[in-house]
Amino acid sequence: MILPIPDLLNPDELARLQGALASAPWEDGKQTAGYQSSRVKHNQQLAEQSGLARQLGEVVLDALQRSFLFHSAALADKVFPPLFNRYEAGHGFGTHVDNAIRPVAGSSGRIRTDLSATLFLSDPASYDGGELVIEDTYGAQSVKLPAGHLILYPSTSLHRVNPVRRGVRLASFFWVQSMVKDDGERSLLFDLDMNIQRLRQELGDDHGTLISLTGCYNNLLRRWAVL
């Protein structure tokens, strides 16, 4: 499932991140890439353990906490501390798949990467190129969202960032370990949850059908979740 989450950041949060990143100390993005990815990765990143990356990452994590759509789609068990990258003209990231396990820098923690996320931080009119291209069963999907919008997609997907031809593309990116690691099961739960919410608007909280479907949702989650 490839899911856009619009307006994850509010205008104040977006302005704060854009302002801080405009003068941030960037370093070569290859430092956080695996062997295969490092061969096709050409961008810049904030140092993973820098104070600025942690401060801005907290803004992103707070926004995720508010998002019903993110909670329903990701069923997150763990979220990797958000990272930040920068692509200028000539930068791109060739086709690759994300590492299955990511260690959390500065700790003994690690996560299984079930879902990948990119939070766009630049106005799409301010740069040419830089599309995130995700390959799935329906072919390649090109994604270039407004600033403050997030795209969530399976980490098993082959994906790339097309070369930037003009301007600067800023983004935050991170991974999610889900309570339900199978993408098909997670997608079914998301569809069921979305339809339950629609029925709640139409029928009210106490309708028998709604109560029954909510029970089905929770029983499926209980069956599939790994904690």
Enter the CATH code of domain 183-224.
4.10.860
Output the pLDDT for position 205. Answer: 82
Q: Are both 3-178 and 183-224 of the same fold?
A: no
Q: Domain extents for the chain?
A: 3-178, 183-224
How many Cβ atoms sit within 10 Å of the Cβ of residue 128?
Answer: 16
Regions of the chain with pLDDT less than 50? none
C-alpha to C-alpha distances, 181 to 17, 59, 178, nearest whole angstrom = 31, 26, 5
How high is the pLDDT of residue 210? 92
Strands in the chain per DSSP E: 3-5, 26-28, 41-42, 44-46, 76-79, 83-88, 92-96, 101-103, 110-112, 115-120, 128-129, 132-136, 139-143, 150-154, 159-161, 164-166, 168-178
Instruction: Provide the pLDDT for residue 29.
Output: 86
Sign of the Cα torsion 180, 102, 96, 2 reads positive
Do residues 168 and 122 make contact, with C-beta atoms less than 8 angstroms apart? yes
Pick the CATH number of 3-178 from 2.40.128.20, 2.60.120.620, 3.40.50.300, 3.90.950.20: 2.60.120.620
Q: Quote the pLDDT of residue 137.
A: 82
Q: How far is CA 217 from CA 66, 159, 171, 196, 222, in A?
A: 21, 31, 34, 9, 9
pLDDT tens-place string over residues 98-145 = 999 999 988 899 999 999 999 999 999 999 999 999 998 889 999 999
pTM: 0.94
